[in-house]
Amino acid sequence: MAIEGIDVSRYQENIKWDTVARSNVQFAMLRAGFGQNNQDETFRTNARACNRLGIPCGAYWFSYAYTTDMARQEARYCLEMVRNFRMDYPIVFDFERASIDYAVRNGVNVTRRLATDMVKEFCDEVRNAGYQPMYYSNRDFIINVFYPEELTSYYLWYALYRNTLDREGV
């Protein structure tokens, strides 16, 4: 049985949370920020609304890390953002193609080893703070960017771009 959730950031602008609370939506994943302490300006408003209305929520940090130290620091930024809110869902490391492109522009080739180690650094920092860690990925990244067999102690938020799960491979 699938559960329905929404992914919310400043790009969704003003959410009508009372309407969301009356809908089939069962949880919300809120972008807390990105990169080196760039806070999502809607996070606090969205987290307050979710907490007030009893909508379970988690948070994610869009990563622009290209070292393990940067990934750990991004986790700390995210933890600082969520500390005053109830987080019923995991805290997520969101590393995508734009993350890799940023690293390349800064002279860093993101290898599978580096990408996997950054997930571990972020997620371990989150776990050590008492939250449930998770990482965001898709089929391409699981096959080509990460060593998924090293990430089994963390939940995976799997980006599914179709209505059915491709059973080949992942």
pLDDT tens string 73-97: 999 999 999 999 999 999 999 999 9
Q: Supply the pTM of this predicted model.
A: 0.90
Spatial separation of the C-alpha atoms in residues 74 and 72, rounded to whole Å: 5
pLDDT band at 163 (very low <50, low <70, confident <90, very high): low
Spatial separation of the C-alpha atoms in residues 39 and 12, rounded to whole Å: 15
Angle formed at CA 115 by CA 7 and CA 124, multiple of 5 degrees: 70
Which of the pair, 5 or 99, is modelled with greater confidence? Answer: 99
The pLDDT of residue 47 is 98
The pLDDT of residue 115 is 98
The pLDDT of residue 166 is 47
Section 39-66 average pLDDT: 97
The pLDDT of residue 167 is 46
Give how far Cα 128 sits from Cα of 62, 75, 102, 121, 132, Å. 20, 11, 28, 11, 9
